[in-house]
Amino acid sequence: HVRPVESGGGPVQAGGSLRLSCEAPGYYYTMNCMAWFRQIPGQEREGVASINVDSGDTYYTDSAKGRFTISQDNAENMVYLQMNNLKPEDTAMYYCAAAVGECLAIDWASKSPYQSWGQGTQVTVSS
């Protein structure tokens, strides 16, 4: 396949956990940065977490720090987002994105570096 494929979303109660999975594109070996974004209808898509494929270095948005963990399994071309202590404000469509360039602190959370996007998986957190 030519774009990431997300799975693992669904309904969950506040305080619960979910693990999102992203099957990376078939050309994963050319990607250097994988990331998770989320979007609420009517709002901008925001970066949640990213990981440099080679180094394993990670970046997180402030609201995700301490609760979410991004990880990868390069042998399986998979990227994961473990989300713990979920809050209603985490409700959104979550997207996996891939970039040829490395994740950089200055712009990993911007949409512009990413060439490939999945179709998203919905996460709904109820209070």
pLDDT score for 1: 62
In the structure, what pLDDT confidence band is assigned to residue 29 with cuts at 50, 70 and 90?
Answer: confident
What integer is the mean pLDDT of 74-94? 96
Whole-angstrom distance, CA of residue 61 vs CA of residue 46? 9
Q: Torsion-angle region of residue 74: left (phi > 0), alpha (psi -120 to 50) or beta?
A: alpha
